[in-house]
């Protein structure tokens, strides 16, 4: 088994950790504070060791560029092995939603090839292991309301991210 490593950086809207195993990222933890990141790492990856490696450094660099408004697309290798085939389809469809745009859960379900699965898309978004990199914050309710967000400060952060991208 490959050892998992992680490291984090903090931004205005929260703290973000990148967890890697081998040559792929296995999780992005986007939490309110460093203490919350430690708890999340302990919950999902209790044997992971904090420390640098080239992939983690690249992940933190790309996240920093994103929050500086200098990056719109992430180019990081993700380990989707724990995702269902449906979740993989939804993730691939979501990656096509342009920076600064939003899409409804229902519209994303259609793009993913499952037009009646809006609620299931919501479930995939709530368990997204790669927030920010796989931009679940860009998915909103059919009436345009923000909807839920499971990372950092919840809907407050989701609204902030949508506004941040639109302003960039």
* Closest by CA position to 125, among listed 145, 109, 142: 109
Does residue 136 have an active-site annotation? yes
* Helix 85-94, helix 118-126: angle, nearest 10: 90
**CA–CA separation, 51 vs 73, rounded Å?**
25
Residues 124 and 118: their CA atoms lie apart, in Å, by 10
Single out the catalytic residue among 13, 32, 52, 136. 136
Residue 21's DSSP bridge partners are: 4, 24
Name the one residue in this structure whose structure tokens are 């994303």: 108
At 71, list the tokens: 């990056």
d(CA 130, CA 108): 17
* Edge-first strand listing for the sheet containing 4-11: 24-31, 14-21, 4-11, 49-50
Give the active site residues.
136
């Amino acid at each position: 088994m490959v050892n998992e490593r992680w490291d984090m950086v903090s931004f205005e809207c929260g703290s973000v950790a990148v967890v890697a195993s081998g040559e792929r990222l296995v999780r992005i933890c986007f939490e309110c504070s460093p203490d919350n990141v430690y708890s999340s790492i302990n919950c999902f990856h209790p044997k992971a060791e904090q420390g640098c490696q080239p992939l983690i450094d690249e992940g933190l660099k790309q996240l920093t560029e994103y929050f500086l408004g200098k990056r719109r697309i992430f180019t990081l290798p993700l380990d989707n092995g724990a995702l269902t085939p449906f979740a993989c389809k939804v993730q691939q469809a979501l990656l096509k939603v342009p920076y600064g745009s939003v899409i409804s859960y229902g519209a994303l379900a259609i793009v993913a090839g499952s037009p009646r699965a809006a609620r299931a898309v919501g479930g995939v978004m709530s368990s997204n292991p790669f927030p920010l990199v796989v931009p679940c914050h860009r998915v909103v309710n059919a009436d345009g309301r923000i909807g839920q967000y499971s990372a950092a400060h919840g809907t407050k952060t989701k609204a902030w991210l949508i506004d941040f991208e639109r302003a960039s």
